[in-house]
Amino acid sequence: MTKAEIVAIIAGKTGVEKVAVQATVESFMNAVKASLAKGDNVYLRGFGSFIVKKRAEKTGRNISKNTTIIIPAHKIPAFKPAKTFVNDVKKHVK
């Protein structure tokens, strides 16, 4: 599903214009990105959590040059679904 499809579904269910829904969805995504960029997690009860995970430094290989490289410690965004979210998906996907 794409962002445009999400906007169309929300606009259809709420009767709000697609332009307004698009702006709302964009604002939501920007707020989540800004929060994660600051290192703050976003918790949405019943849906899940957008969290910042820390990855430790590790050794990797550049196979084209056959050399060892050090991948520095870094942070990455991640999503952890709520238990109710997981259970709903399990019920409907078979």
For 21-47, write each residue's pLDDT tens digit. Answer: 999 999 999 999 999 999 999 999 999
Rounded Cα–Cα distance for residues 94 and 83 (Å): 18
The predicted structure's pLDDT at residue 93? 73
Tokens standing for residue 31: 């707020």
Tell me if 24 is assigned to some domain.
yes
pLDDT in tens, 55-84: 999 999 988 998 999 999 999 999 999 999
By residue range, what is the domain housing residue 5?
Answer: 1-39
Tell me if 14 is assigned to some domain.
yes
Tell me if 91 is assigned to some domain.
no
Rounded Cα–Cα distance for residues 55 and 45 (Å): 26
Tell me if 1 is assigned to some domain.
yes
Model confidence at 94: pLDDT above 90? no
Domain count, the chain: 1
Taking residue 26's Cβ as centre, other Cβ atoms within 10 Å add up to 12
Tell me if 72 is assigned to some domain.
no
pTM: 0.79
Tell me if 89 is assigned to some domain.
no
Tell me if 45 is assigned to some domain.
no
**Sheet (strand 42-44) strand order:** 42-44, 48-55, 74-81
Taking residue 7's Cβ as centre, other Cβ atoms within 10 Å add up to 20
